[in-house]
Structure 1
Amino acid sequence: MYPNLLLKRASLTPNRIALRFEGKEWTFAQLNEDAILFAKKLHSKGVSPGMRVAILASSNAKLVVVLHGCMQLGCELVMLNERLTEEELSYQLQDSKADFLLVDSLDKRNLAHENLLSFADVECIEGNSFQIEKEWSKDRTITIMYTSGTTGKPKGVRQSLDNHVMSATGSALNLGVQPNDSWLCTVPLFHISGFSILMRSVLYGMTVSLHTKFDAEKAVEEILGGKVTGMSLVAVMLERIITVLEEKGLAFPNTFQSMLVGGGPVPLNYLERAIKRKIPVLQTYGMTETASQTTTLSTEDAIRKLGSSGKPLFFAEVSIDGEEEIGEICIKGPHVTKGYIGASESKNPLVDGWLHTGDIGYIDDEGYLYVLDRRSDLIISGGENIYPAEVEQALTKHPGVREAGVAGKLDNKWGQVPIAFVVLKENVTEDELKKFMKTQIASYKQPVHYFFVDQLPRNASNKLMRRDLLKLVIE
């Protein structure tokens, strides 16, 4: 058993700031009070402990209250991705068999559910008292999040209380915890990168400075103000922050301690530019099935092991499957999900206790993990393995390239050949890029075609969706 997280935190540090949003602040005592009040009102609408509640909402202070309210009531949270289509959302609602659907606005989407409620529907009624549990079962499912579905229908991943607590504890043992910690959250709360920040907040007594969406200018302004000590993002967001600092000729203050960057390999060009702006970039590796981080690079190794995702957190283990040095990354530990729901419920995510991630990487002789790519994105050309991330890294070294995405295209002679999609910072021709790339990587890895685009396809957490790149090509 674990203590009721928010209740315990509110009793330990009631007056510490839990949440900042659009100029307003909530202490942990206020957040706990608001969450319990919402839970009582939700109970009046027929929601009972153990029910599964799907939530579709933008990241704001009200959503934080709603999430904590549902947890106080003992519900399982089905976290719906705002950027999905109605068809995709309907599949997840049906697959999860959600008892209720909570939305921040009835005008936002045309979704059908027999128990559809808006936040306003709940707030306008009197609440019914219920028994607040002071202890929570470690195995209790807190959240259900659907994977990106890169290899088929997305799977609903169970994330238990133990998964979240052990993930947060492992991170604390790696990064350390200070009373003045404040985490800037610009990633969506429906994603594990965002929700894990809320979990760390109540466990650490840490302030969350919440933004509805990522804005590089606003993020830089807040960090420069000295109140923020950490932030989570992906590579494309990091590049935009670096660009803002470069344009202003500024660097981050010493008050800012940790920039966790996940969601895929970070181009070395970004890391080198970040060092010049005093951005303490810590590459991290995790996934929905691991309740966020599994490995994270420590601050003392950030430069020495540039490009690595670090060593496993204290409770995690990482291995490489197969006899070769490079292979599939496998993970074991108490932060790893015990299973799926719905159509994938019969699938065991573990093989002999290990989660096979589908990601390709290697572990160096000091135990540091290097993530190369998704196995499903691997390009096999004439029998040679080509990792798109390696080609993308080479492309982003060119001063005129802001972002790059690489995918494999079917080819009668070679089986597959790499093609590149490039977002430019300044005018660059295809011939110039081809000439540059010849100095960077082997001939068989060279993209055979270059397509210049305004933006690359990304999911809600800003991860590059390589499978959608070929859709940008007009045959």
Structure 2
Amino acid sequence: MENWLTKRATLDPNKVALIFEYTDFTFTELNSTVQLYASKLYQHGIHQGDRVAIFTANSFNGYIATLALQQIGVEIVFLNTRLSESELSFQIADSGVTDCLIDDNLKHSQLDNVSVSKTMMSKILSMPASEEYEPVKEFKNDDVTSIMYTSGTSGRPKGVLQTFGNHFYSAIGMSLNLGITDDDSWVLSVPLFHISGFSIMMRSLIYGMPVYLIEKFDETYINRILINERASIISLVPTMLKRILNNLKTGQNFNDNFRCVFLGGGPIDNWTLLRCQMLEIPVIQSYGMTETASNVVALNFKDADRKVGSSGQALFPVNLRITNQDEEGIGDIEIKAPNVAKGYLNQPDLFAAKMTDDGFYRTGDLGYLDKESFLFIKGRKDDMIISGGENIYPEEVENIYGKIEGLESIAVIGVDDDDWGQIPVAYVTTDKDAFLNGQDLIEYGRNRLAHYKVPREFRLVEAMPLTSSGKLLRRKLGNLDYQKI
């Protein structure tokens, strides 16, 4: 395929590509800025075929630098800015990057002792442009453009090799499902260093769609955009959505062009979905992962109300199946699609072990398909609790309890038990003025769940362990200090 940025600048030179702090940039302006920065990177010594890390927030400089690296033909290693020194050291060593571009607006002390050449983005700006630089003419489907390390919810992070073809087919699948038009614009408030953020950048080039770049998540500022601007779609994780809703004042509504909240990053409780329905805020749930270059399953607008709780149907390029089903039809979710990643960096055998003989990727998630092929996620296979021979899916239990007023969050894990093998135990956080009693919570569950699914104990903690994208680190719950309620 032709270079996406240069082609879009040719097709839609005067169309808005990026909106940052109320300033608009057309595709021509974006392309000119990116190419100038890329020529300076080239002068700095970054050339096609290199592998370069980027440590950035959702800043204008970070946006430009990311696209500039892509224009040179560099494999971009996205570093999570919230990681510790040891975590960053591992990823930089594992990826073998030659340089690390650092956003000047970010604190980066955790990189001080990491062994890698470090360059501030502002230093690049002060360099002369190279007369020898030329942007790559073609984006080849099988070429790796981005490397993202998995969040590590189930172990040590793995570098996922994402190709141009992966990003293209992910974008096409989303377009066919949601019916993206020239009138759409996407609010980018999730991190650029996650697939949820970077995929919006790629969709902008492929669709010719404006992006509202949000540097820091501020619900008041974001609601101002959703109410007063023409933003039509925003990507959020459940914790972000709740903050948006809590910030809305009575009588406030999003702009007439607004179409949906595109929700990822984990399950959402029914009470929050009900609040969205009352406020007439459409929520499109989805399912995807770093290894699939964003979404492979999503609801569409016509089915959103009648299929609440479902992640939707497989996108057009995606073949989805459920294997090893139990008597309820719940089994392993497997995916075959052109947006499944090329592999794991330096760990080809590990990725190969996740592939079936007929080319399906084993996601490690459990779920089922209803009669209309809508996918319902039950959780991670590793999270499933087996108590007395019965399967317990933590997310099912958490969703039931998520409706309780004053219960801020709940996470259920299995604890070893001599009699039952495992028993479910719940970790909770509550609102400041809430008083919740463990025995009352047990009774609440027994009226709504099979008794073996009800947590035997409720443990109050200060905060849940989360990844930077808001996903629960369930394996760390057992290490938390708690108070039994």
TM-score (norm 2): 0.94
Amino acid at match of 1:263: G
- What residue number does 2:179 align with? 176
How far did 1:421 drift?
2.0
Pick closer, same or farther for the CA change 1:34–1:226 going to 2, 3 Å: closer
Q: Are positions 1:428 and 2:435 aligned together?
A: yes
CA deviations over 1:260-293 (Å, ceiling 9, x no partner): 1112222222212211111110110000010001
Q: Are positions 1:328 and 2:332 aligned together?
A: yes
CA deviations over 1:55-104 (Å, ceiling 9, x no partner): 11111111110011000100000011111111001101111111211111
Distance 2:451 2:416 in 1: 18
Match of 2:299 among 292, 297, 300: 297
Distance 1:367 1:340 in 2: 30
How far did 1:223 drift?
0.8
- What residue number does 2:34 align with? 35
How do residues 135-284 of structure 1 correspond to structure 2 at under 5 angstroms? 135-245=138-248, 248-284=250-286
Asked if the contact 2:287–2:296 (Cα under 8 Å) also holds between the matched residues in 1, the reply is yes
Distance 1:113 1:28 in 2: 37
How far did 1:243 drift?
2.5
- What residue number does 1:131 align with? 134
Distance 1:250 1:217 in 2: 12
Pick closer, same or farther for the CA change 1:114–1:350 going to 2, 3 Å: same
Match of 1:376 among 378, 382, 400: 382
Amino acid at match of 1:212: E
How far did 1:473 drift?
3.1
Q: Which deviates more, 418-427 or 67-76? A: 418-427
- What residue number does 2:15 align with? 16
Q: Are positions 1:350 and 2:355 aligned together?
A: yes
CA deviations over 1:225-253 (Å, ceiling 9, x no partner): 142100111122222222233x5354434
Match of 2:422 among 412, 416, 438: 416
Distance 2:66 2:140 in 1: 18
Distance 2:231 2:333 in 1: 33
- What residue number does 2:311 align with? 309
- What residue number does 1:52 align with? 51
Unaligned runs of 5+ in 2: none
Distance 2:16 2:113 in 1: 36
Distance 1:442 1:376 in 2: 21
Pick closer, same or farther for the CA change 1:251–1:464 going to 2, 3 Å: farther
Asked if the contact 1:163–1:334 (Cα under 8 Å) also holds between the matched residues in 2, the reply is yes
How far did 1:301 drift?
0.3
Distance 2:379 2:290 in 1: 17
Distance 1:465 1:438 in 2: 27
Asked if the contact 1:252–1:277 (Cα under 8 Å) also holds between the matched residues in 2, the reply is no
How do residues 98-137 of structure 1 correspond to structure 2 at under 5 angstroms? 98-105=97-104, 108-109=108-109, 110-128=112-130, 129-137=132-140
Distance 2:277 2:107 in 1: 45
Distance 1:346 1:417 in 2: 31
Distance 1:43 1:281 in 2: 43
How do residues 56-75 of structure 1 correspond to structure 2 at under 5 angstroms? 56-75=55-74
How far did 1:413 drift?
2.4
Asked if the contact 1:379–1:386 (Cα under 8 Å) also holds between the matched residues in 2, the reply is yes
CA deviations over 1:130-186 (Å, ceiling 9, x no partner): 232222211111100011223322111111000000100110111112222111111
Secondary structure of 1:19's counterpart equals strand
Match of 1:452 among 460, 465, 477: 460
Secondary structure of 1:136's counterpart equals coil
Distance 2:128 2:188 in 1: 32
Amino acid at match of 1:49: Q
CA deviations over 1:281-313 (Å, ceiling 9, x no partner): 011000001000101001000011111111111
Identity %: 41
Asked if the contact 1:264–1:373 (Cα under 8 Å) also holds between the matched residues in 2, the reply is no
- What residue number does 1:437 align with? 445
Distance 2:155 2:446 in 1: 36
CA deviations over 1:199-233 (Å, ceiling 9, x no partner): 00111111111112322232222111142100111
Amino acid at match of 2:158: K
Distance 2:107 2:460 in 1: 37
Distance 1:436 1:347 in 2: 43
Distance 2:255 2:275 in 1: 16
Superposition CA RMSD, Å: 1.7
Asked if the contact 2:58–2:192 (Cα under 8 Å) also holds between the matched residues in 1, the reply is yes
Unaligned runs of 5+ in 1: none
Amino acid at match of 1:447: P
Distance 1:97 1:223 in 2: 41
